[in-house]
Structure 1
């Protein structure tokens, strides 16, 4: 048993594919669900409409925490398997939903599915990759997931335009769940022993209680807590894009197919960009990319709020994807840098608890502001929050990549 992506290439590649299926489960909703809320269920009030984002965010955030704890206690594969079993009813509930309550119930299950499966694939890849190529590992993992979000959002937009909002778009999700379950049962292998191998090379045992891990990751440790707040704001942005962007674009008279293009473009650039930004963080370090990425996202959101045409929104979506690509895999890599292998899975779970709590915060914040002052005002508010988050990282976070940290210390001497 060895550490490293090349040494574990077959299993690592399989897990990249599995995470693409995880992302596809999320992508089935990106284009269609806001339109379904408006056209089929005739919901009024943005806060009420965003209840599905709130339900998803709360359950995914909580499940992330337990996924990390359970991965240490029971192993990675059982947690991944449980996540896929919970995924199976989600597309069926969306297809058959006679009321909005069914949609909320489906998103509760989707949140549990995403928390268990995505968290576990992250932990497993960190286990396999070892300490020096975590940026590359997280770039590949997140790229696969969010490219699948983009492709599925585009595909469901096409299916909705040609075959209606239900059931055709959600049949993709059903196929993803079945395939993910099958691969997990028959092909995925346990990786917990790889974490134990890495831990054996550390001088300290690194044992901490769950409460200590939570406190360090949330507040006490500067890099971990900076990453947690930046992750939360990043997904606050994504919740806004998921729930309100299609409605904002629709107010400008864009067709369903054009809304689908915009809904797919942002995660597509985000996904593809991580092929570059993940390994780049292994060379340049983490802090620089995170700070710059948050500020780029703030500029992109301000542009979404300010412009009114499809070409301008295309540019804004690309810019938002670039900024998110700079941040997303780099935050995960920084958690892996700082956390000891003995409690790393739990630290990833706590980080993802805060990060995906951003969906819930974004649903409430954006929904309330949109109801009171309008859609564009909600986007402006989130743009300001994102800029402030980037400044917090610039002030509080230190460089976490092992090689870059040694170089900086050497230059200081």
Structure 2
């Protein structure tokens, strides 16, 4: 029989359609703010006197972003279990305000690096909160669908912003484009936030339904719940399922770093203009985004493992295609294959983590996963930037990334059992 709390805060996307839609709008704004840099910033290196072969220094803006976002994902997840999801989301939008101002007034590349520190704060607090909130609202039966919708809308926005700012930068210049675009997005997000409710009560109700009277709040359950450090060590290193999923998150962000930093330089070297680069990288992001509407739901029906492994295979295949072909249309196709691979693996890695994370510490556990996943930007920036600097070319980084994603898939295949409870029950039957 449902508890009073679960009756007051019922789970399900249909039952919470208004709040779910508001969170979907929030993640769309989050994706727009991230996507505005994808096409424009790597091509601005000439404005700051960066050599076309200064690969490691060029990648530094993604390194700063990844380090900050990774650490604050962990902080945001734990903080949201204590003070609520909405408050952290609000703080994230405030952190976004300096980004366009720093880029607009930047006299050198160090200002771009500083702007991406704030972008890391913004993305850690906002995107982490939207996906956690939508998981809270959806419940266990629609968890994959909820994550799929969240990531779909976010990455559709990334793709649209990357393509749109490419065109706008040609008309108005990159600095004015980023300034106007970002301030408009942040203003709309803060306005929409007025109607958003905090979803922590839904997580509390789910926890009480599963565990009776055991309190959810970490401060009132010290004897039942781990410390932050104990949780971090267990999720990161001791539990073989968590560990394998975390490294999978790192690997897919290494691939995304390649798209963000190295591929625009690679395509520019082959004579493509900023609009053409926007179409190639935008097709990757938009296919990734659009396909997540069904890949998350697919995993609710067939389990997480097969979509995750299929996604890594397609991602690796697309990377190999990028390296082997030398034509705009072929690059578009290969980028779309990469996007389809991301759509299969990306939402289902986090859904698998949510499957095995107790409701009482879901925010913290997902925060630790997102710490490792988004630290993959910093790892990717250093790894790929260093490799390109050593080889004095961007092409070897594409092959290196393909190797990373292939090894990651093998690790998950060997270490992870199916995590989806419905699939497990069907298998047992």
TM bracket (short chain):
over 0.9
- Name the structure 1 match of 2:109: 100
Give how far 1:213 is off. Answer: 2.0
Give how far 1:212 is off. Answer: 2.8
- Name the structure 2 match of 1:132: 141
163-172 or 268-277: bigger deviation: 163-172
1:354 aligns with 2:363: no
- Name the structure 2 match of 1:402: 421
- Name the structure 1 match of 2:402: 383
Work out the CA distance in 1 between the residues paired with 2:367 and 2:84. 14
1:42 aligns with 2:49: yes
Work out the CA distance in 1 between the residues paired with 2:49 and 2:263. 18
Is contact 1:301-1:380 (8 Å) kept? yes
1:369 aligns with 2:377: no
- After superposition, the C-alpha distances for 1:340-359 in whole angstroms (9 at most, x for unaligned) are 00011000100000000110
- After superposition, the C-alpha distances for 1:66-106 in whole angstroms (9 at most, x for unaligned) are 00010011111110000000111111111111111111110
Work out the CA distance in 1 between the residues paired with 2:183 and 2:151. 21
Is contact 2:102-2:111 (8 Å) kept? yes
- Unmatched segments (≥5 aa) in structure 2: 1-8, 215-223
Give how far 1:203 is off. Answer: 3.9
- Name the structure 2 match of 1:120: 129
Is contact 2:100-2:178 (8 Å) kept? no
- 1:192-207 matches, within 5 Å, as 192-203=200-211, 205=214, 207=225
Is contact 1:208-1:343 (8 Å) kept? no
TM-score in terms of structure 2 length: 0.93
1:6 aligns with 2:25: no
Work out the CA distance in 1 between the residues paired with 2:286 and 2:368. 27
- Name the structure 1 match of 2:6: none
Is contact 1:68-1:346 (8 Å) kept? yes
What is the SS of the residue equivalent to 2:48? Answer: coil
What is the SS of the residue equivalent to 2:174? Answer: coil
- Name the structure 1 match of 2:27: 19
Work out the CA distance in 1 between the residues paired with 2:276 and 2:329. 11
Work out the CA distance in 2 between the residues paired with 1:25 and 1:170. 11
Is contact 1:46-1:368 (8 Å) kept? yes
Give how far 1:282 is off. Answer: 0.2
- Name the structure 2 match of 1:233: 251
Work out the CA distance in 2 between the residues paired with 1:168 and 1:146. 20
Work out the CA distance in 2 between the residues paired with 1:212 and 1:295. 34
What is the SS of the residue equivalent to 2:359? Answer: coil
Is contact 1:223-1:400 (8 Å) kept? no
- 1:316-331 matches, within 5 Å, as 316-331=334-349
Work out the CA distance in 2 between the residues paired with 1:265 and 1:274. 14
Give how far 1:134 is off. Answer: 0.4
- The equivalent position to 1:177 in structure 2, one of 186, 190, 206, is 186
Work out the CA distance in 2 between the residues paired with 1:405 and 1:222. 18
Give how far 1:260 is off. Answer: 1.1
Work out the CA distance in 1 between the residues paired with 2:327 and 2:76. 42
Work out the CA distance in 2 between the residues paired with 1:404 and 1:223. 17
Work out the CA distance in 2 between the residues paired with 1:323 and 1:233. 13
- Unmatched segments (≥5 aa) in structure 1: none
1:220 aligns with 2:238: yes
- Name the structure 1 match of 2:163: 154
- After superposition, the C-alpha distances for 1:188-222 in whole angstroms (9 at most, x for unaligned) are 11111100111112248563322232123212223
- The equivalent position to 1:266 in structure 2, one of 266, 284, 293, is 284
What is the SS of the residue equivalent to 2:11? Answer: coil
- Name the structure 1 match of 2:299: 281
303-312 or 63-72: bigger deviation: 303-312
